[in-house]
Amino acid sequence: MSNGQESDSTCKRNAFVSLCNISQSTAVRYLLNNFDQISGMDELMQMAVIELVRKEAKTEGSHRVSQM
């Protein structure tokens, strides 16, 4: 790793992926509470967010939009 920031973002991504595997509902709550920050996250973290959204959509989780 070339710098501390890169290492820090990798650690955050790994922690988020672990959270997704341990408690998907908690990971979803985290995203809902930090929704406005997703666009500023690094690319690997955004990919982890997309993966969680895909998993949540497959399980028809409670956070799916029911009416438009």
pLDDT in tens, 15-67: 999 999 999 999 999 999 999 999 999 999 999 999 999 998 888 655 555 43
Query: Is pTM beyond 0.95 here?
Result: no
Residue that the structure tokens 């409670």 belong to: 62
Rounded to a whole number, what is the distance in angstroms from the first to the last CA of the chain?
Answer: 45
- Count of CB atoms within 10 A of residue 44's CB? 16
Question: Residue 2 — pLDDT band, cuts 50, 70, 90?
Answer: low
Residue 32 is predicted with a pLDDT of 95
Q: Which two tokens stand for residue 3?
A: 């710098």
